[in-house]
Amino acid sequence: MVATIAAGDPIRLVWRNDLGGRTYRLDRSGHTEYVKWAPDHPEIDLEQEARKLAWAGRYTVVPEVLGLGRDTDHSAWLHTLGIPAMPAVAPRWKADPRRAARAIGTGLRMFHERLPVSECPWSWRIRDRSTRIRNPDDMALLDVVPEEDHLVVCHGDPCVPNTLIGPDGNCAGHVDLGSLGVADRWADLAVATYSLPWNYSPAYEDELLDAYGIERDGDRISYYRRLWDAT
Ligand SMILES: Nc1ncnc2c1ncn2[C@@H]1O[C@H](COP(=O)(O)OP(=O)(O)O)[C@@H](O)[C@H]1O
Ligand SMILES: [Mg+2]
């Protein structure tokens, strides 16, 4: 399918995820496009991701959906227009992790401020995520739920590679919105900071929180990281 969409233009594999999914970049003349391809898996729903991209794109910069489909071999694909920026995990930004961490923090703040909670059809709140807790030992997390600090539309997977940074060092957009939904802002902040050491050294967690404009809340960070790991 990727070759059909590319129609002879160069195709480059840019990303592989843990669930067997792959993302390809198509180099058109003057712009890029991306095709996200995924085998059928209960945790992947590209149709839902396409709906979320279309909704979020009314308020902030996310990939514009060009097409969506299924192949006969139990896989699906999502074709988007490229955002002209590099993921925060690109060598350019790994070499400048302080600046990248700040761009992620500012970008997340922007995302939370722009997307309207009252209009958002999806939830990422604890009770709605709890159905995905697999290990019975982790169910105890639901007994000690922290009070919500501030409800926003969360990105849902704010790991380093899902923020795009422009040449000026500012956040240029977000990708990978399959889990987007309303939740406490700490659900996103806990994971955004959690993912820094997986990609950068040192991790600059405090830079990210400072750029977001918030004081570290150790209890909520630790709760939402455990929930992330459990789901
Ligand atoms: N429309 C797009 N514009 C720019 N980069 C994109 C676009 N779509 C995907 N990418 C790049 O491909 C990578 C993988 O896409 P993503 O949707 O995050 O897949 P996954 O769910 O496997 O993490 C992203 O980190 C980003 O670098
Ligand atoms: Mg991603």
Residue 156 contacts residue 181 (beta carbons within 8 Å) = yes
Query: Would the CB of 13 count as within 6 Å of ligand 1?
Result: no
Residue 113 has pLDDT above 90, yes or no: yes
Instruction: State the pLDDT at residue 201.
Output: 84
Q: Let me know whether 226 and 154 are in one domain.
A: yes
- Cα-to-centroid distance, 33 and ligand 1 (Å): 10
Instruction: State the pLDDT at residue 202.
Output: 83
- Cα-to-centroid distance, 162 and ligand 1 (Å): 7
As a whole number, the mean pLDDT across the chain is 96
Please say which residue of 36, 58, 81 terminates a domain. 81
What are the phi and psi torsion angles at 84 (to 5°)?
Answer: -75, 75
Adjacent-strand bridge partners of 26 = 11, 33
DSSP state of 40: -
- Cα-to-centroid distance, 174 and ligand 2 (Å): 9
Domains: count for the chain: 2
Beta strand extents in the chain (DSSP E only): 11-16, 22-27, 32-39, 65-71, 75-81, 86-87, 151-154, 163-165, 171-174, 181-184
The tens digit of pLDDT for each residue in 77-97 reads 999 999 999 999 999 999 999
Instruction: State the pLDDT at residue 160.
Output: 97
Please say which residue of 31, 53, 81 terminates a domain. 81
C-alpha dist (Å) from residue 108 to 44, 47, 91: 23, 24, 21
Domain, as residue range, for 187: 86-230
Instruction: State the pLDDT at residue 219.
Output: 96
Can you tell me the distance from the alpha carbon of 225 to that of 231, in angstroms, rounded to the nearest whole number?
A: 10
Residue 65 contacts residue 50 (beta carbons within 8 Å) = yes
Residue 162 annotated as part of some ligand binding site: yes
Can you tell me the distance from the alpha carbon of 78 to that of 66, in angstroms, rounded to the nearest whole number?
A: 8
Ligand 2 (ion): which residues have CB within 5 A? 162, 176
Query: Would the CB of 14 count as within 6 Å of ligand 1?
Result: yes
Question: How large a percentage of the chain has pLDDT more than 70?
Answer: 100
Instruction: State the pLDDT at residue 40.
Output: 94
Q: Let me know whether 208 and 173 are in one domain.
A: yes
Q: Let me know whether 205 and 93 are in one domain.
A: yes
Query: Would the CB of 21 count as within 6 Å of ligand 1?
Result: yes
The tens digit of pLDDT for each residue in 191-230 reads 999 999 999 988 899 999 999 999 999 999 999 999 999 9
Q: Let me know whether 57 and 128 are in one domain.
A: no
Instruction: State the pLDDT at residue 134.
Output: 87
Q: Let me know whether 91 and 71 are in one domain.
A: no
Q: Let me know whether 93 and 27 are in one domain.
A: no
CATH number of domain containing 23: 3.30.200.20
Of 157, 168, 188, 210, the catalytic one is 157
Can you tell me the distance from the alpha carbon of 6 to that of 24, in angstroms, rounded to the nearest whole number?
A: 10
Query: Would the CB of 161 count as within 6 Å of ligand 1?
Result: yes
The model's confidence at residue 73, banded by pLDDT at 50, 70 and 90, is: confident
- Looking at ligand 1, which atom is closest to the CA of residue 86? 27
C-alpha dist (Å) from residue 57 to 48, 116, 147, 214: 14, 12, 30, 26
Residue 176 annotated as part of some ligand binding site: yes
DSSP state of 114: H
The tens digit of pLDDT for each residue in 5-37 reads 999 999 999 999 999 999 999 999 999 999 999
Instruction: State the pLDDT at residue 221.
Output: 97
Instruction: State the pLDDT at residue 169.
Output: 97
Instruction: State the pLDDT at residue 197.
Output: 94
Ligand nearest to the CA of 36: 1
CATH number of domain containing 124: 3.90.1200.10
- Cα-to-centroid distance, 200 and ligand 1 (Å): 19
Q: Let me know whether 129 and 95 are in one domain.
A: yes
Q: Is omega for the bond preceding 202 within 30 degrees of 0, making it cis?
A: yes
**Average pLDDT of the segment spanning 131-146:** 90
Q: Let me know whether 129 and 52 are in one domain.
A: no
Residue 72 has pLDDT above 90, yes or no: no
What are the residues whose beta carbons fall under 8 Å from the beta carbon of 172, sequence distance 6 or more? 61, 83, 84, 85, 164, 165, 166
Please say which residue of 81, 110, 129 terminates a domain. 81
What is the β-pairing status of strands 151-154 and 163-165? Answer: unpaired
Active site residue 219: no
